[in-house]
Amino acid sequence: MKFQELFNMQAQLDSFIQQNQHIDRDVFLEKGLALTIELAELANETRCFKYWSTKGPSEREVLLEEFVDSIHFLLSLGNEKGYRLNAWPEMKKKENLTTWFLKTQEAILSFIHDPSEDHYLKVWEYYSVLAYNLGFTLDDIIQAYIEKNEKNYERQRNGY
Ligand SMILES: O=c1ccn([C@H]2C[C@H](O)[C@@H](COP(=O)(O)OP(=O)(O)OP(=O)(O)O)O2)c(=O)[nH]1
């Protein structure tokens, strides 16, 4: 599966959710807030900022699932605005996770307040750096995305 195809998978999932939940209004801001929360959930699972604790990060699978929750909302926001990426922005840059989470949060907020294509692409670049620093390859991300996408359908079908 190619990265670009995730935009179509996301569009299908989103319309299924919207029909299932009878949503006929614009939910761009809700998705934007959801993205900031998914980012925070990921940061929380890495525990990168918890200088007060000696407990290590959650298991890789947990981190990857949190990561692809963000990817769902990021794809969805792009679909809402008609923005697509032609390819995964490969960004192999070593960064301090805490600093990078804060920068990513800032990039998301800039996009929500001014949803330009440039701002959108920037958010992807920040996520790519996060992926690199968390040790996730594009294949890992696509695989985990497909699994979570299916879980999201099941949750809807089961009256989540
Ligand atoms: O329009 C939407 C709404 C939601 N999702 C997906 C994204 C994400 O993968 C999931 C929501 O995140 P999560 O599974 O963390 O949901 P939650 O309700 O916060 O779960 P929990 O109650 O288990 O924390 O739903 C979409 O793809 N499109």
Quick: pLDDT tens for 9-36: 999 999 999 999 999 999 999 999 999 9
The alpha carbon of 34 and the centre of ligand 1 are apart by a number of angstroms equal to 8
pLDDT score recorded for residue 27: 98
d(CA 150, CA 24): 23
CA nearest ligand 1 atom 1, residue: 14
Contact 42, 104 (CB under 8 A): no
Contact 78, 13 (CB under 8 A): no
Q: Is the CB of 122 inside a 6 Å radius of any atom of ligand 1?
A: no
- Rounded to the nearest integer, the mean pLDDT of the chain is 97
d(CA 57, CA 134): 11
Confidence of residue 160 (pLDDT cuts 50, 70, 90): confident
* Of 44 and 160, the one with more pLDDT: 44
The alpha carbon of 69 and the centre of ligand 1 are apart by a number of angstroms equal to 7
pLDDT score recorded for residue 145: 98
Quick: pLDDT tens for 43-61: 999 999 999 999 999 999 9
User: For a pocket test of ligand 1, which of 73, 79, 154 has the largest count of ligand atoms closer than 8 A to its C-beta?
Assistant: 73
pTM check: above 0.95: yes
Whose CA is closest to 112, among 58, 4, 34? 34
pLDDT at 124 over 90: yes
> Domain residue spans in the chain?
5-89+137-157
Q: Is the CB of 14 inside a 6 Å radius of any atom of ligand 1?
A: yes
- Residue 116, amino acid: S
d(CA 125, CA 132): 11
Contact 114, 151 (CB under 8 A): no
The mean pLDDT value for 110-123 works out to: 98
pLDDT at 159 over 90: no
Q: Is the CB of 69 inside a 6 Å radius of any atom of ligand 1?
A: yes
- Atom of ligand 1 at shortest range from CA of 66: 15
Q: Is the CB of 65 inside a 6 Å radius of any atom of ligand 1?
A: no
d(CA 62, CA 65): 5
pLDDT score recorded for residue 85: 95
The mean pLDDT value for 124-153 works out to: 98
The alpha carbon of 72 and the centre of ligand 1 are apart by a number of angstroms equal to 8
Q: Is the CB of 13 inside a 6 Å radius of any atom of ligand 1?
A: yes
pLDDT at 105 over 90: yes
The alpha carbon of 26 and the centre of ligand 1 are apart by a number of angstroms equal to 17
- Residue 22, amino acid: H
